Structures are given as structure tokens and as C-alpha cells.
Amino acid sequence: MVQMEIIAISNTITQTNNYAVVLQEVNGNRRLPIVIGGFEAQSIAIALEGMRPNRPLTHDLLKNVMLTFDIHLEKVIINKLIEGIFHACLICNKDGQIYEIDSRTSDAIALALRFNVPIYAREEVLSEAAITVNTPEEGTSSTSERENTPTNRPEDISRLNTAELEKLLKKCIEDENYEMAAIVRDEIKRRQENND
């Protein structure tokens, strides 16, 4: 398993009222963009900012219930990617007994922040869905290339050949446009599967 940290929450381009939370491996350059709903994004953002709402949000309530019954969250694991949907589990400790509880990834992240516990991703999930970010010394594209790249128009990618898609993927990563990068990556993967 690989430990991850949250580096950004951003609006999505393709899905109205949805957001992307971007995780990056600790001491590494792989990033995992995960599309989440607006409520979950708000809950994660509130925890990241250390804000305390007047009344507990759902994730605060769940934390309070767990602590009342002496259930301690030890870590969360993003453990599967099935048909483009990330799955996670909560690893909990109750009286020395370890329990693994299925969870939506967004809920697991929101709880991890509230309990201040690590977030992990299985290597197979990262291998399938992570985007590798190049370091600055590996080069960037020119200004003219950036201006002519359709990074904000997902419908345009179907007209690009595979070499152009790979170039676009690199550009999206450099611009930290991870949601678009995930779309381009999926299109490349779809074409590779169709050619097999």
C-alpha cells in the first residue's frame, strides 16, 4: 500500500455540481484524481481548513458516534477501482479487534481527516488510475502548444490520434488539470483495449 495526501480540491469540467479531490503519493509523483459530490467536497474542505460548523455535519456525527462507542479509525484504504468507480474501506479498532468496513472513497477521506489518520491506496489502484507528474526539469510544452491544446473541451479528444492524446495528457498534468487528464487517460486506455 502507498500512503497518499490531499493536495487539491477543484471543480470538475464535465460533471456539474461535482468536484475532484486530488491525492498524491507521499514522497512520490503519482496523483490520483477522484470525482466526488458537492456535499462530500464541502465536508472535506471544512476538515482541511479546521473549521467547526455550529452543528455537526454527517461525517462529524459519525465520528462522534464512533468515539462514543470506543471505535477508533486507524486508517483508510482506497482498495479497488471497478468500472471507473473508486472503492475504499475503513480500518477500525474496537477493543483490540480490527474491523474492515466498506465505504465510499469520499466518505473515507472525510473521516480520515477528522480522525487525523493516514490514507492509503493499493498499488494496483495506482497502477490503473494514477497520473504521473513529471518534475520541472523534464521539460514543459511551449506557449503556442498550450494555446492550441483543447484541455477544457472533453468532446474534442475524440478527434485526436493516440500520439496527440498522449501529448495532451502530459500537458494536462503539467497544468495540474487532473480531471481532464483522467478523461484523456481513459480515452487512451479505451483505444488500447479496442486494439487488443
Using one digit for the tens of pLDDT, what is the confidence trace for 39-75? 898 899 889 888 887 888 899 999 999 999 999 999 9
Residues 81 and 170 in one domain: no
**Residue 4 confidence (pLDDT) above 80:** yes
Domain that holds residue 147: 134-195
Most confidently modeled of 89-93, 152-156, 191-195? 89-93
Using one digit for the tens of pLDDT, what is the confidence trace for 94-109? 999 999 999 999 999 9
Instruction: Extract the C-alpha cell encoding 18.
Output: 461535482
The CA-atom distances, in angstroms, between 188 and each of 9, 47, 166, 168, 191 are 25, 35, 8, 11, 5
Residues 21 and 108 in one domain: yes
Residues 91 and 8 in one domain: yes
Q: State if pTM tops 0.95.
A: no
